[in-house]
Amino acid sequence: MRKADIGFALMLFVLAVLVAEESLQLNIGWGLNGPQGGFFPFWLAVGLAICCLVILVQALRRTSPTSRQPLVRPGGWAPILKVAGPATAMVALTEMIGLYPAAALYIGFYMRWIGKFRWLLVLAVSIGVPLISYIVFDKWFLVPMPKGWWGEHLRL
Amino acid sequence: MDAFTNLLMGFQIALSPYNVMIATLGIVLGTVIGVLPGLGGANGVAILLPVTFVMPPTSAIILLSSIYWGALFGGAITSILFNIPGEPWSVATTFDGHPMAKQGLGGQALTAAFTSSFIGAAFAIILVTFFAPLIAEFSLRFGPPEFLGIQMVTFSAFVGLGGSSPVKTIAATLLGLILATVGMDIVSGQLRLTFGTVELMRGFNFVVAVIGLFGIGEILLTIEEGLEFRGAKPQVRWRLIVETLQELPQYWKTFVRSALIGSWMGIKPGGATPASFMSYGIAKKFSKTPEKFGTGTLEGVLAPETAAHAAGVSALLPMITLGIPGSPTAAVMLGGLLIWGLQPGPMLFQEQPEFVWGLIASMYTGNVIGVLIVLLFVPAFAAILRLPFAILIPLIIYVCAIGAYAVNNSTTDIWYMLIFGVAGYLFKKLDYPIAPMVLALVLGDMAESALRQSLIMSQGSPMIFFSSPIAAVLVILSIWLLVSPIVHPLLRKVWDRHNR
């Protein structure tokens, strides 16, 4: 936990430095229309950097009861990755084949792999849910979802 | 009375068949969302925001606020039956609610929770009805320095709130403000902080951030805990409900106290959670039987629920009068106003009276519909949690992805949602608060333009923030709020050393 705390603060610090540098290029001074574009983000970044330094010092000096615990509790990684991995795959698939087919594959895969449900139920849910959401969003509320490759070739 | 005629007009709008249908739909969806792990009010409203683009603004806000009421009710169901607080402010409800459910008194606890939510909400709504026009009129005189002052108070009110370290709260707020500046600069039209990429030109949409931070992040946390829902089965029969209702009037003092605490704390950002805890503590202190608290007493359920719901309602007061949201959910609704082409703030009362009074009237109708629906269908809502995790999780992630995509019709936003999800997980783990960051992301543009306009008015002198008494009070208050959580422990240390 302590290592993660320090690491995260360092990451934010680097981000703050990057933002400050970008803002300096935009000019942080006084322009024709008052303060220039970089003014606000620059001082925010300075503030964030100071906060990060304080957090770092606190983390290095103090050890709290939670600081010895690991960031992710033992045995916690596997279930997290099992959720995050397929979800990422679904998003990647969405770019290619559209959200509805990607969701059908994702829900079906997860239900079969983790839940070990019967195929009949897996198929019913994984096809039924995207179908219902297609009717609700694309047809009813006229909010079209990404179609990926199909959209370009079939003009859905 | 002007408020009465306006309110009547509002009721005419809120009671139109279409809007009643919308409100009922919103309550049902909201309750489902409140019951589901990982989805709360802010998320539900964010996910369904794109759907409202095809509705008239008044119906849209009625839908969103009804989802909010539903989520507040739904949070009580999971807290009592499953000991899982759906929202931080329902934590105090678990103290006595879950013991009651385990003793087979789940039906009584739920009835008490719903009724007290309703009473708390009703109390706060009456308050909103009469105070909102006054505050709006008062704030019409506000200029950029005063608005910046209010925003500073909003942000600094989070510091020293609820456990998180003050420095981390400030860091989270600053991070949110920085994210808000990404993309086009509203004053000069320059592209900012895009690091030369096309993807960052549009900036970060806070709806996507909310869905990721609250939704995906929460799911990752729940999954890691390996929670299983093994809940008590509620027995809700009409006779039981009537019996519980007959018991409640004797606690009228607790109701009044809790509703007052809730309404007062709710106006300040992030107020619902401390309000529910405070109300629980005070109810215990004043109770004739304080030793029963924590073992399953009716009073211990109704005190936090009344306060939390009252706070939930009064959090909308600063949103409609000042354009400053009091909670993440209100922040998402505020974003909705902007998307529908309405300018939140005091002018709303004059330019869009139908919208404002329709919303206020719908708070009355929405809560009446809500309490009826949840009382009637508790077992149905509780059954949702009996769905196996392996079905629930992909469904929730899928729904989140739809919401994130639909905001801007961009698949990049779904990627952002995942990134924000991981960030939300780390934030929670490392004790960085999420709510101030979301609020900062929403208010960032407004805060920046208020700051720059003020500085233009004064030609660069920061003294403009002390030029009017209102601005000066607000700025000094915010500085005090910011500094006191840091100074207090230091002073105490010095004091201790001195006395040794």
The pLDDT score that the predictor gives to residue A65 is 60
The pLDDT score that the predictor gives to residue A68 is 66
Q: What are the residue boundaries of the structural domains of chain A, listed by start?
A: 2-68, 77-154
Nearest CA in chain A to B454: A34
Q: Write the DSSP symbol of residue B432.
A: -
Query: Cα B236 to the chain's mean position, in Å?
Result: 29
Is residue B347 within 8 angstroms of chain A, CB to CB? no
pLDDT-derived band at A77 (thresholds 50, 70, 90) equals confident
Is residue B422 within 8 angstroms of chain A, CB to CB? yes
Which residues on A lie below 8 Å from B186 (Cβ)? none
Is residue B470 within 8 angstroms of chain A, CB to CB? no
Run of H or E residues at B293: none
Neighbouring CB atoms inside 10 A of B196's CB total 7
| Phi-psi map region of A119: left, alpha, beta (phi>0 left; psi -120 to 50 alpha) | alpha
What does the block give as tokens for A93?
A: 């698939």
pLDDT-derived band at A22 (thresholds 50, 70, 90) equals confident
Nearest CA in chain B to A3: B430
Residues 218-247 of B with CB under 8 A from A: 219-220, 223-224, 226
Asked if B83 and B77 count as a contact pair (C-beta separation under 8 A), the reply is no
Q: If 0-12 CB within 10 Å is exposed, 13-18 middle and 19+ buried, where does residue B238 land? A: exposed
Distance, in Å, from the CA atom of B451 to the CA atom of B462, rounded to the nearest integer, reads 10
User: What stretches of B145-282 adopt beta strand conformation (E)?
Assistant: 183-184, 191-192
The pLDDT score that the predictor gives to residue A152 is 67
Q: If 0-12 CB within 10 Å is exposed, 13-18 middle and 19+ buried, where does residue A29 land? A: exposed
Nearest CA in chain A to B448: A40
B170 with A73: Cβ contact below 8 A? no
Min Cα distance B369 → chain A (Å) is: 24
Distance, in Å, from the CA atom of A153 to the CA atom of B353, rounded to the nearest integer, reads 48
Please provide residue A133's backbone torsions phi and psi, each rounded to the nearest 5 degrees.
-70, -30
A141 with B178: Cβ contact below 8 A? no
Give 10-residue mean pLDDT values along chain B (500 residues). Answer: 81 91 92 80 84 87 92 85 74 86 84 90 90 84 85 80 77 92 79 79 83 85 69 66 83 90 79 81 86 86 91 87 81 84 83 89 91 84 77 88 86 92 91 85 85 86 85 88 78 77
Asked if B381 and B234 count as a contact pair (C-beta separation under 8 A), the reply is no
Q: Smallest Cβ distance to A91: which of B181, B395, B418?
A: B418
Which residues on B lie below 8 Å from A40 (Cβ)? 177, 181, 448, 451-452
Asked if B464 and B458 count as a contact pair (C-beta separation under 8 A), the reply is yes
| Phi-psi map region of B226: left, alpha, beta (phi>0 left; psi -120 to 50 alpha) | left
Q: Tell me the ipTM for this assembly.
A: 0.90
Interface test with A, best of B59, B165, B190, B193 (most A CBs within 10 A): B193
The pLDDT score that the predictor gives to residue B163 is 59
Query: Cα B174 to the chain's mean position, in Å?
Result: 20
Is residue A71 within 8 angstroms of chain B, CB to CB? yes
The pLDDT score that the predictor gives to residue B291 is 84
Min Cα distance B183 → chain A (Å) is: 11
Is pLDDT above 70 for A73? Answer: yes
A35 with B452: Cβ contact below 8 A? yes
Q: Smallest Cβ distance to A110: which of B220, B394, B406?
A: B394
B178 with A39: Cβ contact below 8 A? no
The pLDDT score that the predictor gives to residue B320 is 85
Which residue would you say has higher pLDDT here, A135 or B188?
Answer: A135
The pLDDT score that the predictor gives to residue B176 is 92
Which residues on B lie below 8 Å from A91 (Cβ)? 401, 411, 414-415, 418
A30 with B188: Cβ contact below 8 A? no
Asked if B128 and B360 count as a contact pair (C-beta separation under 8 A), the reply is yes
CA-closest candidate to residue B135, choices B326, B279, B342: B326
A145 with B406: Cβ contact below 8 A? yes
Is pLDDT above 60 for A6? Answer: yes
B193 with A125: Cβ contact below 8 A? no
A88 with B456: Cβ contact below 8 A? no
CA-closest candidate to residue B47, choices B25, B59, B30: B30
Run of H or E residues at B342: none
A91 with B220: Cβ contact below 8 A? no
* Number of domains observed in the structure of chain B: 1
Distance, in Å, from the CA atom of A37 to the CA atom of B192, rounded to the nearest integer, reads 7
Nearest CA in chain A to B177: A44
Q: Smallest Cβ distance to B448: which of A40, A125, A137?
A: A40
Q: Smallest Cβ distance to B167: which of A4, A54, A142?
A: A54
What does the block give as tokens for A150?
A: 């199909």
Is residue B184 within 8 angstroms of chain A, CB to CB? no
The pLDDT score that the predictor gives to residue B1 is 52
Distance, in Å, from the CA atom of B202 to the CA atom of B182, rounded to the nearest integer, reads 8
Interface test with A, best of B168, B339, B396, B453 (most A CBs within 10 A): B168
Distance, in Å, from the CA atom of B170 to the CA atom of A82, rounded to the nearest integer, reads 34
Q: Give the ranges where B324-411 is alpha helix by DSSP (H).
A: 328-339, 348-351, 353-384, 389-408
Nearest CA in chain B to A81: B220
Asked if B193 and A45 count as a contact pair (C-beta separation under 8 A), the reply is no
CA-closest candidate to residue B353, choices B322, B382, B320, B326: B320
The pLDDT score that the predictor gives to residue B420 is 93
State the average pLDDT over residues A110-122.
89
Is residue B393 within 8 angstroms of chain A, CB to CB? yes
The pLDDT score that the predictor gives to residue B274 is 78
What does the block give as tokens for B47?
A: 């996910």
CA-closest candidate to residue B178, choices B168, B190, B193, B166: B193
> Which pairs count as long-range contacts for B333-338, CB under 8 Å and 24+ apart, including other chains?
B333/B45, B333/B61, B333/B64, B333/B65, B333/B68, B334/B442, B335/B49, B335/B206, B335/B207, B335/B442, B336/B45, B336/B49, B336/B52, B336/B60, B336/B61, B336/B64, B337/B57, B337/B61
Distance, in Å, from the CA atom of B211 to the CA atom of B205, rounded to the nearest integer, reads 10
A34 with B187: Cβ contact below 8 A? yes
The pLDDT score that the predictor gives to residue B270 is 64
pLDDT tens per residue across span B428-447: 888 888 888 888 888 888 88
CA distances from B210 to A113, B45, B65, B158, B431 (A): 29, 10, 17, 18, 17
The pLDDT score that the predictor gives to residue B436 is 85
Which residues on A lie below 8 Å from B388 (Cβ)? 115, 117
Residues facing A133 on adjacent strands = none
Q: Which domain holds residue B146?
A: 2-499
Distance, in Å, from the CA atom of B379 to the CA atom of B293, rounded to the nearest integer, reads 26
Asked whether the CA dihedral B470, B471, B477, B478 is positive or negative, the reply is positive
Nearest CA in chain B to A38: B192
